[in-house]
């Protein structure tokens, strides 16, 4: 029988991914529900999805470095807990950069078009 850390044990790898994903997304949803500021449904879905993806990736990354299974799940859950802020920062940074590029390409895009005079 193979050990849980054996990379060929895909069943254990899938189970770890599902548990890490559930921990990360549930942490993000709980945080949104307990927040004093009202948040929208789309924000909650985006936060839960980003937390799930980050938790799975962090859980897979720390497998070789952390030998304790509960500690690996805790690290994945904490990374998922921080994922919404990182996602919001990345989206706002990308939006700002794209807006700068658009302003460079079309500097007069926000001005009103000139109307032609009729004679």
Rounded Cα gap, residues 62 and 88, in angstroms = 24
* Residue 13 to residues 3, 43, 79, 81, 98, Cα–Cα distance (Å): 11, 29, 18, 21, 38
Question: How far does CA 56 lie from the centroid of its chain?
Answer: 11
Q: What is the pLDDT of residue 111?
A: 52
Give per-residue pLDDT as tens, 85-113.
Answer: 887 888 889 999 999 888 888 766 555 55
pLDDT band at 42 (very low <50, low <70, confident <90, very high): confident
Q: What is the pLDDT of residue 1?
A: 43
| 57 pLDDT above the threshold of 80 | yes
């Amino acid at each position: 029988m193979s050990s849980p850390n054996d990379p060929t044990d895909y069943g254990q790898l899938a189970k770890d991914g599902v548990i890490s994903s559930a921990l990360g997304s549930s942490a993000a949803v709980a945080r949104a529900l307990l927040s004093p500021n009202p948040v929208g449904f789309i924000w909650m879905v985006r936060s839960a999805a980003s937390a799930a993806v980050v938790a799975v990736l962090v859980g897979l990354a720390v497998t070789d470095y952390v030998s304790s299974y509960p500690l690996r799940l805790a690290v994945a859950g904490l990374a998922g807990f921080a994922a919404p802020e990182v996602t919001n920062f990345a989206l706002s940074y990308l939006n700002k950069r794209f807006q700068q590029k658009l302003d460079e390409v079309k500097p007069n895009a926000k001005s009103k078009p000139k109307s032609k005079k009729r004679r």
